[in-house]
Chain A
Amino acid sequence: MTLSFTCSHQWLPSLPLHILSRLLTLLLFLNFTGNAVADTYKEKLDLQPLSGQFLLASFNFQSHGPIEAFNKQMFQLFPRSLGQILQYTHTRELHLRFALGRWDSELWGAQPGDGQNAGGTGVETWAWVEADNDVEAEARWTSLNNALSGLFCASLNFIDSTRTIRPVMSFNPTGDYPTTNTSSLFLLHGSLPKEPVCTENLTPFLKLLPCKGKSGISTLLDGHKLFDASFQSMSIDVRPICSPHTGACDIEIQQTIDMVLDVSRSLQRRDSPVPRPREQHELICDTSKSYASNEYCYPMDNSFDLPWSLSDLFGRTISGGCPFAINLPVEETSHVCIHAPENRLKTMETHEEVYPTSTEGKPDLQCYMLRENVEFDLAFPKQQPPTTPLRQEPLLYAERSFTGHGQEHGGVKTVLRNPWPNDPIEVVYLESLPWFMKPYLHTFKARVLPAKGLGEEVISELYYRPALDRKRGTQLEAKLIVPPNSVVILTYDFEKAVLRYTEYPPDANRGFDVASAIITIPPQRRRSDGKLIPATSIRTTSLLLSLPTPDFSMPYNVIIFTSTIMALAFGSIFNLLVRRFVAVDEVQRMDLKGKIRGLIGKLKKGKTE
């Protein structure tokens, strides 16, 4: 330990010492593992510039610990608050997603991590719960959601049976279960598309980290910056992992945050917190236009890459590495990586203790190692002409929208586009619809554009679980093949149910959110080049369904109307029975008019007299 310190003090930027110090770190690590540090932790920040002045920042925090200690509730790096919930509810594998904004795959390309870390808008969660039967699984799922709701300050407790589905084809456990009987594992999936993800969800998220946002890359995570991003997604995955050689099992918790920062917006926020229009002299005009003059400005975008640094975008620097992520073997110690071409200028506004680590054959990848208690910042100078960041073509484009009009019926149209010229893609399309949106399955059609021969069926498998009013929602799962370079359009019609008076939310006229469709691409081998495509998932945006909303004073009107009608009926019948009927000329009329006239006459007389 002391050796390492002295070494860092007399640091010289020469290569042999560099290696020596790494060796020392390794030795230190070995020493620590000997000291019963059973849990391991690593964290990594991946920065990737995207086209259109966007920057993708992917934070990844991962910790492993032996599952025996977890089962005994002896927690070290694994957060006890979460671990206890998982044990109490017999949850073997948990996936929790908080997402806000839309991933623009047209502009930004494929999602990071093959979309495995992203969820639909709002909150999405799925888990494998161990139970003896379905009822027990349901009960544990409910208590899991209630507990998570308290832990993450989210309305997860509203995931009830109507929002829970049991996907058949879309999800597979990612953990290892050598001892557990797989028939006793129940997969349950719930989503809350309406949930606004905000700072109160980030704070508990950070508390789960061993360094708690106080050191390491998590110091960059600030609610104001994170939720100002164009797209952000937080995820938590807990799963057991077993070594195939020794059979020893670990529990792994992986927390990720993906955010797409609008660089110009972030920089503007830094300069003036209140957004205001640019000064005229700051505008960059396209003078090549015919109408360009002093008065008209045709703004030119992306004439250069804006200069930025981590402290500009996140409002602070990284305050040194998290100690648990530092004492790792050398090959895993790169904490901050940036995808940028080597020729692009970059400066490190940092102290000398930053190691540019090897780039592992990727010329565009620059990685850095953090040191404990040494601040780290990364700066990008202005770049003119702008660099065009590498855009990874997504496997599939998906979008979903409502069709139709009126308050009674509607339709859903999903467009899946395969951009690859030669490879058909097999996908599983999963819809979880609320019970008040009742699809007609016979209208479920898939159309291929451009039209192929009649022989080829697009949908190969279909799983449908119809809704029960107020008990469960519709689950629709379809396995289909999207032919190369073509578009598959899925359509179906649905009926809108009329809800009960108390079932409407306070903002009934805003509409009801329908959860994102989940498109899963199972791992498959590409036909053209034989490359294996990893499992990928894509979420469409959520939809806003408007239902017929009643006038909410209705119950009182109903009470008054029915009361009046009943009273009328009773009154007339009663009068018929009680009244005496006589001939018209037998009635002793009360001559009201005559009396009044008499009175007026008397008054007038009195006046004249």
Chain B
Amino acid sequence: MEDDADSRRRRYRELLHNITMDKDGASQSQSKLDKDDDDSILPAGFVDQGDSTATYNQPPPERPETIRTRLWVLISAWMIAIFLGLPLWHATTTIYRAPLPMQEMQNWSEGKLCKTEFPLLVEVEAPSLPDAENLLKTVQHALDDANDFTAHKPHHLRLRLAAKKAKSEEDSKSDKDENVACLLRLIPDSQNGYNHAVQSSSRIVDIHYPPPSSSSQSSVSAGLSKFVAETLEVLFWQEQELIEHLLLPQTSNPGSLNALSSQSADESRDKKTPPRPRAATADINRRMSRVVKYSSSYHITFSLFTATSLPASWDIESAISQYLTPLLSALSPISNFTISTQVQYYASISSSVTPTYDEELQSWTLKKEDLSSFINSAEWPLASISNDPNLNFILYIPHPSISPLTIPSASHSNSFLLPQWGGVTILNLDQSASHLQHLSNPTLKPALETFATHLLALLGAPPHPASLPIRLDSLVRQRSAEVLVSASSTLGSLQRLVNALPSISIPTTVSDSVQDSILHLSLACEELRKGSFVKALEMGRVAQEEAEKAFFERTMVAQVYFPDEHKLAVYLPLLGPVSVPLVLGVFREVKRVIAERKRVRGGA
């Protein structure tokens, strides 16, 4: 066997040697190498291969038109890739972003476009005063003076005194009725001196003043005008504060910080003289934090939660119609309300809430920190299906074992308000009483009255003037300021969001909504200037809704984060093999050109 292989190898080598010897000197070194390389076994085919290198003819020179054609091919391939391929790729993989009026949005959010004004019309009825015109002028002057301090503020409440004679009441009613913020009735009163009385169910404010003595006519009028100005100040300062507060964060927004204006506002607040303690701001903050977001309709749920199975029923329907419906219908220009009621038995308070027995009060008391977790949201069915914001009012009847249950440091009502959510009243029933099975209408009265005050607080009505119409008017103004601020700040946020995230898509609906929102914002601003606050509120609400619709557009939020690297990775199998011949083609052409240049230069 070994002999066989050996002899075969030898034969190969001989053969190879013979062939290489035939060739000319060009492959001299190779044959030499072969000799040196003793053990290499060479296949038969190898010889031919090595052989062909030997003969090499110079190819004929290329014709210029072939070169030109090749250039054209190369250029057109590149052109197609750059001008058709890339744009096509970009167009099919890019995300659609509808154009948005960014600058306008920013301007709105910075409050540049609307100088919020609240012109108020105050009518004065002074039948027994001879020179009412004069008096009004003085009061107006005094008010204007007071406002001058704050004139440089971006937004502030301007009081306009319209001196209407009592006789012209009819024509004032006919066209401008709703603009009248309040009606001052100047009534001479010899007994009590200067004082004012606000009627709780109308806009009329009675101002009593001592009747002028025969001689000092002017001093009386001066005193009176001072008092009228002060009264107006007292009537409206709370609302004024609130609206100022509302409009303020808009300018001190971090995105659109206008340091100067907010600073000056602070200064001016400091300057403001008598009834503005620092605590007022905190109070406003506290009040505003309770207020529910504005909506055109709310759903109110009255729930009777009882820890046992008693009482089984309540007279809630008649109680609502008796104690609450008047208030709700008064509120109807601002918001509508739908009502549902329920009774839930065996409702235990959260296990984390443990009342302690207070020997002094002879009752079980809840700690203040317990109140925040009083609502057992896991067990109590309080969710509501309606699209409107839900306000919950809960009447809780504690278990007999922890009855009477009281809240410390609360007023006699034994109730508390949950900010932006609703109110809770704890009702302790006398266990031996016969009405245990059924809560009658009179039993519910205090609870419902508490709920009514809670409702007003939740809606943000100012607590101050005793007159409900004036309070509701001021609620309208406050709400319209609120929706304006909210809508424009939402627009601002959207603008910042769009700027910050270049990868989110913006559908056309968003830009439509933004346009609509801006349109309604300016309309609302217009209406405010005209003094028709209810209309302004309506417009502002639409603006707010549209702005929010744009901001919370689902397709925009749901945009998957798909980074460009991933895109490239997916397309690399296509891009790589296509670009290699393109690049190589260019490379070869460049090489040829350089070689040509060299040759030409060398030739020259």
Q: Please name the residue on chain B nearest to A84 by beta carbon.
A: B385
Are A74 and B381 within 8 A (Cβ)? no
Segment at the interface with A among B49-57, B239-247, B361-369: B49-57
Are B52 and A32 within 8 A (Cβ)? no
- From residue B295, how far is it (CB to closest CB) to chain A in Å? 17
A324 and B341 in contact, given A582-B59, A589-B52, A601-B33 (Cβ under 8 angstroms): no
Q: Which of B373-395 contact A (CB under 8 A)?
A: 379, 381, 383-386
Q: Please name the residue on chain B nearest to A214 by beta carbon.
A: B346
Q: Which one of B36, B37, B343, B384 contacts A76 once the chains associate, using CB atoms below 8 Å?
A: B343
Q: Which one of B53, B316, B346 contacts A591 once the chains associate, using CB atoms below 8 Å?
A: B53
CA distance A522 to B478 in the complex (A): 64
B29 interfacial by beta-carbon distance below 8 Å = yes
Are A563 and B571 within 8 A (Cβ)? yes
Are A81 and B381 within 8 A (Cβ)? yes
Q: Which one of B37, B50, B381, B574 contacts A567 once the chains associate, using CB atoms below 8 Å?
A: B574
Segment at the interface with B among A260-268, A414-422, A452-460, A570-578: A570-578
A523 interfacial by beta-carbon distance below 8 Å = no
CA distance A585 to B56 in the complex (A): 6
Are B573 and A559 within 8 A (Cβ)? yes
Q: Chain B contacts of A593 at CB under 8 A?
A: 49-50
Q: Can you list, as one digit per residue, whether each of A566-609 has a CB less than 8 Å from chain B (1) or not (0)?
A: 11101100110110101111111101011001100100100000
A36 interfacial by beta-carbon distance below 8 Å = yes
A80 and B36 in contact, given A567-B577, A594-B53 (Cβ under 8 angstroms): no
Are B59 and A583 within 8 A (Cβ)? yes
CA distance A583 to B316 in the complex (A): 105
Are B573 and A77 within 8 A (Cβ)? no
Q: Chain A contacts of B62 at CB under 8 A?
A: 580
A79 and B381 in contact, given A88-B386, A214-B346, A570-B581 (Cβ under 8 angstroms): yes
- From residue A229, how far is it (CB to closest CB) to chain B in Å? 25
CA distance A469 to B378 in the complex (A): 42
Are B341 and A566 within 8 A (Cβ)? no
Q: Which one of B30, B55, B66, B312 contacts A32 once the chains associate, using CB atoms below 8 Å?
A: B312
A322 interfacial by beta-carbon distance below 8 Å = yes
B301 interfacial by beta-carbon distance below 8 Å = yes
A211 and B340 in contact, given A560-B573, A567-B577 (Cβ under 8 angstroms): no
CA distance A215 to B346 in the complex (A): 9
A564 interfacial by beta-carbon distance below 8 Å = yes
Are A147 and B317 within 8 A (Cβ)? no
Interface residues on A, range: 35 or more
B313 interfacial by beta-carbon distance below 8 Å = yes
A434 interfacial by beta-carbon distance below 8 Å = no
A37 interfacial by beta-carbon distance below 8 Å = yes
- From residue B320, how far is it (CB to closest CB) to chain A in Å? 9
Q: Chain A contacts of B570 at CB under 8 A?
A: 556, 559
A390 interfacial by beta-carbon distance below 8 Å = no
Q: Which of B35-70 contact A (CB under 8 A)?
A: 36-37, 49-50, 52-53, 55-60, 62, 66, 70
Are B309 and A594 within 8 A (Cβ)? no
Q: Please name the residue on chain A nearest to B71 by beta carbon.
A: A578
CA distance A559 to B309 in the complex (A): 67
B568 interfacial by beta-carbon distance below 8 Å = no
Are A75 and B381 within 8 A (Cβ)? no
Q: Chain A contacts of B312 at CB under 8 A?
A: 32, 37, 76, 323-324
B576 interfacial by beta-carbon distance below 8 Å = yes
A323 and B381 in contact, given A80-B340, A598-B29 (Cβ under 8 angstroms): no
Q: Can you list, as one digit per residue, whether each of B540-581 has a CB less than 8 Å from chain A (1) or not (0)?
A: 000000000000000000000000000000110110111011
Are B577 and A74 within 8 A (Cβ)? no
Are A578 and B577 within 8 A (Cβ)? no
Q: Please name the residue on chain B nearest to A327 by beta carbon.
A: B312
Are B573 and A567 within 8 A (Cβ)? yes
Are B57 and A586 within 8 A (Cβ)? yes
B280 interfacial by beta-carbon distance below 8 Å = no
- From residue B435, how far is it (CB to closest CB) to chain A in Å? 9
Q: Please name the residue on chain A nearest to B52 by beta carbon.
A: A589
CA distance A583 to B340 in the complex (A): 96
Q: Chain B contacts of A210 at CB under 8 A?
A: 309, 345
Are B70 and A84 within 8 A (Cβ)? no
A245 interfacial by beta-carbon distance below 8 Å = no
Are B313 and A571 within 8 A (Cβ)? no
CA distance A276 to B62 in the complex (A): 92
- From residue B141, how far is it (CB to closest CB) to chain A in Å? 55
CA distance A580 to B68 in the complex (A): 12
Are A601 and B70 within 8 A (Cβ)? no
Are A36 and B313 within 8 A (Cβ)? yes
CA distance A562 to B578 in the complex (A): 12
A224 interfacial by beta-carbon distance below 8 Å = no
A153 interfacial by beta-carbon distance below 8 Å = no
CA distance A80 to B309 in the complex (A): 17
Q: Which one of A35, A574, A583 contacts B582 once the chains associate, using CB atoms below 8 Å?
A: A574
Are A571 and B66 within 8 A (Cβ)? no
Are B346 and A32 within 8 A (Cβ)? no
Are B346 and A211 within 8 A (Cβ)? yes
CA distance A160 to B405 in the complex (A): 49
Are B313 and A37 within 8 A (Cβ)? yes
CA distance A322 to B345 in the complex (A): 11
Q: Which one of A32, A214, A601 contacts B36 once the chains associate, using CB atoms below 8 Å?
A: A601
Q: Which of B284-320 contact A (CB under 8 A)?
A: 301, 303, 309-310, 312-313, 315-317
- From residue B343, how far is it (CB to closest CB) to chain A in Å? 5
B18 interfacial by beta-carbon distance below 8 Å = no
Q: Please name the residue on chain A nearest to B387 by beta carbon.
A: A88
Are B386 and A577 within 8 A (Cβ)? no
Are B309 and A211 within 8 A (Cβ)? yes
Q: Which one of A38, A584, A597 contacts B30 once the chains associate, using CB atoms below 8 Å?
A: A597
Are B70 and A577 within 8 A (Cβ)? yes
A75 and B343 in contact, given A211-B309, A564-B577, A580-B66 (Cβ under 8 angstroms): yes
Q: Please name the residue on chain A nearest to B384 by beta carbon.
A: A84
CA distance A377 to B58 in the complex (A): 112
- From residue A67, how far is it (CB to closest CB) to chain B in Å? 15
CA distance A460 to B73 in the complex (A): 74
Are A574 and B340 within 8 A (Cβ)? no
Are B581 and A574 within 8 A (Cβ)? yes
CA distance A316 to B580 in the complex (A): 78
Q: Chain B contacts of A27 at CB under 8 A?
A: none
- From residue B81, how far is it (CB to closest CB) to chain A in Å? 10
A73 interfacial by beta-carbon distance below 8 Å = yes
A74 and B585 in contact, given A36-B438, A586-B58 (Cβ under 8 angstroms): no
B437 interfacial by beta-carbon distance below 8 Å = yes
B339 interfacial by beta-carbon distance below 8 Å = yes
Q: Chain B contacts of A578 at CB under 8 A?
A: 70, 73-74, 581, 585, 588
B231 interfacial by beta-carbon distance below 8 Å = no
A225 interfacial by beta-carbon distance below 8 Å = no
Are A215 and B74 within 8 A (Cβ)? no
- From residue B384, how far is it (CB to closest CB) to chain A in Å? 6
Q: Please name the residue on chain A nearest to B572 by beta carbon.
A: A563
Q: Can you list, as one digit per residue, whether each of A28-50 has a CB less than 8 Å from chain B (1) or not (0)?
A: 00001001111000000000000
Are B346 and A212 within 8 A (Cβ)? yes
A75 and B341 in contact, given A35-B437, A36-B315, A85-B385 (Cβ under 8 angstroms): yes
Are A74 and B578 within 8 A (Cβ)? no
Q: Chain A contacts of B580 at CB under 8 A?
A: 571
Q: Can you list, as one digit per residue, whether each of A410-451 has a CB less than 8 Å from chain B (1) or not (0)?
A: 000000000000000000000000000000000000000000
CA distance A564 to B573 in the complex (A): 6
Beyond the given A69-B317, A84-B385, could you list 10 further A-B residue pairs with CB under 8 A, ordered by the A residue number? Answer: A32-B312, A35-B437, A75-B342, A79-B342, A88-B386, A210-B345, A212-B345, A568-B577, A594-B50, A598-B29
5 residue pairs from A and B, CB less than 8 Å apart: A35-B437, A75-B341, A563-B573, A574-B581, A598-B29
**Which A-B residue pairs are the 5 nearest by beta carbons?**
A567-B577, A73-B340, A563-B574, A80-B342, A563-B573
B interface residues with partner A (beta carbon < 8 Å): 29-30, 33, 36-37, 49-50, 52-53, 55-60, 62, 66, 70, 73-74, 77, 301, 303, 309-310, 312-313, 315-317, 338-343, 345-346, 379, 381, 383-386, 434, 437-438, 570-571, 573-574, 576-578, 580-582, 585, 588
